[in-house]
Amino acid sequence: MNILLLIVSAVFGYSFSHFGSNPKSKIQNKLPTIAIRFIQVSPNLKISVGNRIIHIHHWIYYTVILIFTLTYNVSFFESLFAKGYLTGAIINGLTYPDWKTIVKKKVL
Query: Residue 51, Cβ neighbours under 10 Å: how many?
Result: 9
pLDDT tens digits along 72-105 = 887 777 889 999 999 999 999 999 999 999 999 9
pLDDT at 24: 83
Single-letter code of the amino acid located at 66? L
Contact yes or no for 86/66 (Cβ under 8 A): yes
* Predicted pLDDT of residue 1: 83
